[in-house]
Copies of this chain bind each other. A is one copy, B any other.
Amino acid sequence: MRKIKCAVLGGTGSVGQRFVKMLDGHPFFDLSLIVASKKNMGKRYGDVVHWLIGGDAPLDAQQLKIEGFNLDVFSEMGVKVVFSALPPDVAKEYEKRLAEDGYAVFSNSRAYRFDEKVPILVPEVNPDHIKLVDLQMEKRSGYIVTNPNCSTSGLVIALRPLMKYNLSKVVVSTYQALSGAGYPGVPSVDINSNVIPYIRDEEEKIEDETKKILGVFQNNRVVKKDIVIVSSCVRVPVRDGHLESVVVEFEDEVDLEYIKQAMRMLPSIKNLPTSPVKPIILRNEVDRPQPLLDLYAGEPKRAEGMSITVGRFKRQQKQVRFFLLVHNTVRGGAGNSILNAEYAMQKGYL
């Protein structure tokens, strides 16, 4: 198979770096172009990136020359797929132009998440939402597919298997890592030995995105799921990995073992390189999941960080409580968009 050439937009940022790392040696996609802010145009990626992930940037990526946003360059390079880690205001313009120009855009940006024709896609959760792409392509030759916000992505995977049990309400409190704030993000003097109960727009994102992702696709549109979600978002001094305490209320009492079994059995998408064998890993230890220990859950190698980990179940009448951990820049960002692109390819959209 010939690899498809791809570009990363916003490649020097926190999620952009994760795209670059996860695309290194990817069996389907060949990273050919990194677009970043003008001030770095023409410089080697390896010379300008403030690499946050540990070790060094992939050697091939280091050699790439950074480009500005220029559609001519995309076409000269033969790029077909674009991964976007742009801030929302810039994404608004660039992603639209790319989609109109025939590119398949897989975006971590929230710019188009609530466009009626753009899916917020998590293949294990709402695979049929990819059909929204068909609607987009009635009017233009390319399309946009988004991944959810970092904390939403873990939540919807955990909730998916519970949907059959008349779930009426979700109360979620988050423990969100520093890398989720981008770079430079939170000043150290504010968060050292502290927690901050505020992340701009984050609670709204969780509440709105979850309803769309869990919504039903019918009559060429997504009908949002009608549930109450109350989210409380807190930044904690942890480098990577969002922990979430989730309390789900059902219409009727449910059996905890059914709930666990449903989670354990959530099917994975087969035959995609970034798809984890098990989307949800259950831990029985009293003190798991933990960011430190469960961050890179998932196999094979290329899917490390793509599984979420859940544990500490308890039931209180109609309420079920559990904790989940999601790698915020892998499953909660770049990794999910790469999986989306792989899935689009499997479904014939590439």
Interface residues of A (CB under 8 A from B): 14, 51-52, 54-55, 171, 173, 175, 178-179, 181, 183-198, 203, 228-230, 232, 234, 236-239, 243, 245, 247, 286-293, 295-297, 311-312, 314, 316-317, 319, 321, 323
Contact = CB atoms under 8 A, between A and B. Distances in A.
A158 to B, nearest CB: 14
8 contacts: A54-B293, A173-B173, A184-B190, A194-B238, A194-B291, A195-B291, A197-B311, A237-B238
A51 B232 CA distance: 24
Nearest to A283: B56
- Copies of this chain, count: 4
Given A54-B293, A173-B232, A175-B234, A243 B197 contact: yes
Nearest to A207: B316
Contacts of A295: 54
A239 B229 CA distance: 31
B247 A189 contact: no
Contacts of A312: 197-198, 232
A313 B265 CA distance: 38
Nearest to A323: B197
Given A178-B189, A192-B193, 5 more contacts: A178-B188, A186-B187, A192-B238, A230-B316, A230-B319
A234 B243 contact: yes
B197 A289 contact: yes
A183 B193 contact: no
A324 to B, nearest CB: 10
A55 B240 CA distance: 14
A195 B287 CA distance: 10
Contacts of A293: 51, 54-55
A192 B317 CA distance: 35
Q: Which of A189, A192, A238 has the most CB of B within 10 A?
A: A189
A194 B290 contact: yes
Contacts of A55: 293, 296-297
A232 to B, nearest CB: 4
A189 B197 CA distance: 18
A56 to B, nearest CB: 8
Most B CB contacts (10 A, CB to CB) among A183, A191, A232, A287 go to A232
A206 to B, nearest CB: 12
A296 B196 contact: no
B195 A189 contact: no
A224 to B, nearest CB: 15
A303 B185 CA distance: 34
Nearest to A319: B230
A52 B189 contact: yes
A323 B189 contact: no
Given A54-B295, A178-B189, A236 B236 contact: yes
A175 to B, nearest CB: 5
Contacts of A317: 228
Contact of A188 (B192, B287, B289): B192
Contacts of A14: 189
> Nearest 10 pairs between A and B by C-beta?
A173-B173, A184-B187, A198-B287, A232-B245, A194-B292, A193-B193, A188-B188, A173-B245, A178-B189, A171-B171
